[in-house]
Chains A and B, each alone.
Chain A
Amino acid sequence: MRDIRVSRLAGLIVEYSLAIQPRQILRIDAPDVAAPLVLELYRAALAAGAFPYSTLSVDGLLEILLEDGTDEQLTHVSALQFHEIETIDALATVWSETNTRSLSRVDPDRHARFLKAQRQLSNRRWERISAGELTWCGMLYPTNGHAQDADMSLGAYEDFVYSACHVDEDDPAAHWRLVAASLRNQADELESVRELRIVGPDTDLVVGVEGRKWIAADGRYNMPDGEVFTSPSETETEGEIRYTFPAIYHGREVEDIRLRFEGGRVVAAEAARGNDYLQSLLDMDEGARVLGEVAFGLNYEIDRFTRNILFDEKIGGTMHLALGSAFPQAGGSNTSGLHWDMICDLRADGEVYADGELIWRAGRFVRAPEAAAPEPVEAELG
């Protein structure tokens, strides 16, 4: 039976996230398990007057390349792929996987070489996105593999995903327009802050954000969405933080990470599980020990950790601080091969101070930006 939420999600992506215009070429990248969503995206794009097409993948091909390919094959990027990146006007990426751990056994060096070669494409893609020539949105279609990671049944996971996207409502775009306005207000308020201090269990960390731009993540690049983020000062992070949720990088989990920062850099790090992996990632390059992102997760429909960064970093009431590459559009300048989002749950007891003033407690902004909305008129009070 057709799930109406799938077509609503497709409609939301096409109309709101990508704002598809007639005659635009939309490419839909997806694994075959996401075919029902791909078909609805295709249908919605046709209805918008666009020229959609899909590039599907099936499980197992990347593993074969990583296992059997010569160096030349591993790093080959064809003229066809460059041509496509130059030609498309919009791109929808469905990240779903059949088996979220299918790359667990591949040689990390060979995988890194493959990713490095692919970066020629992704860098050009980001250039075009930044220049406003290409719109892009990443999303997820619920599969058993992801449900399993979340310790949920497929049915329960579908409910979780669709409610996080607000496609269980009649007019999700209207919801996201409201969210966008509210996040924008929040980001504007944070813009005047010089320094954030995060206080929680085993956590007391000061992060400099003066002059940085806060960005409202409002459902255009990710669906679901709901965060405000910036790239902090590269040299001012001081103190300690303990990450309550496991941090996942390329499918590998590191549990209970504690970091100590001095002068912007990690000077001590330990993890209860996966410590070796943590240390090796911190030593990846110069920038790997410096924060590239600090963010507030503000999607309160996402109320649990599901081992998927698309959702986890937006859990309402959490903050995430990423080690590694920063966002130039936020004013960040740190560069690294790493961008590792680590999530800190501040819902039970956590406080955040902005230049000494308490702005966040137990997972909520103390003064919600919605409070700045106009006073209700009498008729509504009546």
Chain B
Amino acid sequence: MVDSRVGRLADVLVNYSTHVEPGQLVLLETTPLAAPLLRELYRSVLAAGGHPHVRLGLEGAAETLLTEGSDEQIDWVNPMRREDFEQADARIAVEASSNTRELTGVEPARQARYSRARESLRERYLERSRLGDLRSVVSAYPTIASAQDAEMSLADYEDFVYRAGFLDRDDPVEAWKELGERLGSLSRWLGERRTVRVVAEGTDLTVGVAGRTWIPCDGKENFPDGEVFTGPEETSVEGNISFSYPATFGGRRIRGIRLGFEGGEVVHAEADDGEPFLHEMLAMDDGARRLGEFAFGMNDAVREFTGHTLYDEKIGGTVHLALGMSYPESGGVNQSALHWDLVCDLRAGSEVYADDELVCRDGEFLVDVR
């Protein structure tokens, strides 16, 4: 039986997130694992008058390229992908993997090389997004592999995923608009602050945000969504942070990451597990040691850690920091081929100060920003 929530997800992605209009070229990117959602997306794009263009990833190709390919082959950027990003009016990318750790055995340096080679592609894509020429949303389809990461049955995980997207509610789009308004108020309030300081066990970190723009995220670029973020001042970050959650990134999982910052730069980095990979990512380029993003997770329908960044970074009561590239619309200027979100849970005991005012305790905002 087809899960009716799959159709609702497709409808929201096509008609709310990317708002497909007649005649538009719409890239649908996923893997064959998400075929049920892909078919619904395809149907919704047609109904909206768009032209769907499907790009399906081949599972195992990345691992094969990274282990068997030459440097020249790893550096090769498919001209068809460049053309995709030049021509498309909208893009819906849906993560769906059979094995979230498939790249664990790959040499980290080759993975870094692969990311560097594709930086120009991503820059062009972000540029067109910024100009409003390309509306793009990243989502995920519940797979057995993701359920396993979340330590859930597939059925429980599906419930989690669709709840996180408000798809169990009567009017999901209305719910996203409401959250968007609340996040908009918070963003404006945060936009008038100069520093944010996070204090928790193993963490005392101060981030300069003066003059930066906070962006409310209401399901247009990520789905599900629910965060406010900015690009910190590049040289302002000072102190230490200990990430309570493991980070699943680049097809592997790294546990117990601790970072020390001076003058905005990571000067100390360690991890309980996967430390060589962490060091290789930090060495990817000049910008990889600086923060490109600082954000508060604001989705209260996401409560539990599931090992998938798309959801974890939205958990209400968390903050996340991304190493590497910043989004220019936030005022950030850091450039890097890396953008790695790391999530820290604040709910177990923490304080967040904005310009020395306590604004958030144990993950709950104390300020009324309405």
Give A residues with C-beta under 8 Å from B.
23, 25, 32, 35, 38-39, 42-43, 46-47, 49, 51, 53-61, 64-65, 68-70, 73, 76, 78-80, 83-84, 87
Q: Is there contact, CB below 8 Å, between A87 and B80?
A: yes
Q: Is there contact, CB below 8 Å, between B64 and A46?
A: yes
Q: In the complex, what distance in Å separates the CA atom of A47 from the CA atom of B57?
A: 20
A343 to chain B, nearest CB (A): 34
Residues on B with beta carbons closer than 8 Å to the beta carbon of A43? 64, 68
Residues on B with beta carbons closer than 8 Å to the beta carbon of A70? 46, 49
B99 to chain A, nearest CB (A): 14
Given contacts A76-B51, A80-B83, A87-B79, contact A39 B60 (CB under 8 A): yes
- Most-contacted residue by chain A among B38, B53, B68, B78 (CB, 10 A): B78
Residues on B with beta carbons closer than 8 Å to the beta carbon of A55? 55-56
Residues on B with beta carbons closer than 8 Å to the beta carbon of A80? 25, 53, 80, 83-84, 87
Known: A39-B61, A46-B69. 20 other contacts (CB 8 A): A32-B32, A35-B32, A39-B64, A42-B61, A42-B64, A46-B64, A46-B65, A49-B70, A51-B73, A54-B56, A55-B56, A56-B56, A56-B58, A58-B39, A61-B42, A61-B52, A68-B46, A68-B47, A79-B83, A84-B80
Give B residues with C-beta under 8 Å from A.
25, 32, 35, 38-39, 42-43, 46-47, 49, 51-61, 64-65, 68-70, 72-73, 76, 78-80, 83-84, 87
Residues on A with beta carbons closer than 8 Å to the beta carbon of B69? 46
Q: Is there contact, CB below 8 Å, between A56 and B83?
A: no
B309 to chain A, nearest CB (A): 25
Residues on A with beta carbons closer than 8 Å to the beta carbon of B49? 70, 73
Given contacts A47-B68, A49-B70, A79-B87, contact A58 B32 (CB under 8 A): yes
Closest to A45 in B: B73
Query: What 8 pairs between A and B have smallest CB-CB spacing?
Result: A32-B32, A56-B56, A58-B35, A54-B58, A51-B76, A68-B46, A39-B60, A83-B83
Closest to A50 in B: B73
Q: Is there contact, CB below 8 Å, between B46 and A60?
A: no
Q: In the complex, what distance in Å separates the CA atom of A57 from the CA atom of B32?
A: 8
Q: Is there contact, CB below 8 Å, between A42 and B53?
A: no
Q: Is there contact, CB below 8 Å, between B39 and A64?
A: yes
B70 to chain A, nearest CB (A): 7
Q: In the complex, what distance in Å separates the CA atom of A59 from the CA atom of B87?
A: 26
- Most-contacted residue by chain B among A78, A80, A83 (CB, 10 A): A80
Residues on A with beta carbons closer than 8 Å to the beta carbon of B65? 42, 46
Residues on A with beta carbons closer than 8 Å to the beta carbon of B87? 78-80
Q: Is there contact, CB below 8 Å, between A51 and B61?
A: no
Q: Is there contact, CB below 8 Å, between A73 and B46?
A: yes
Q: In the complex, what distance in Å separates the CA atom of A49 from the CA atom of B79?
A: 17
Q: In the complex, what distance in Å separates the CA atom of A51 from the CA atom of B81?
A: 13
Q: In the complex, what distance in Å separates the CA atom of A238 from the CA atom of B19?
A: 62
Residues on B with beta carbons closer than 8 Å to the beta carbon of A51? 73, 76, 78
Q: Is there contact, CB below 8 Å, between A64 and B35?
A: no
Given contacts A78-B53, A87-B80, contact A69 B46 (CB under 8 A): yes
Q: In the complex, what distance in Å separates the CA atom of A255 from the CA atom of B32?
A: 37
Q: Is there contact, CB below 8 Å, between A42 and B58?
A: yes
What are 8 A-B interface contacts by the 8 Å CB criterion?
Answer: A23-B72, A35-B58, A35-B59, A39-B60, A46-B68, A65-B46, A70-B46, A80-B83
Residues on B with beta carbons closer than 8 Å to the beta carbon of A42? 58, 61, 64-65
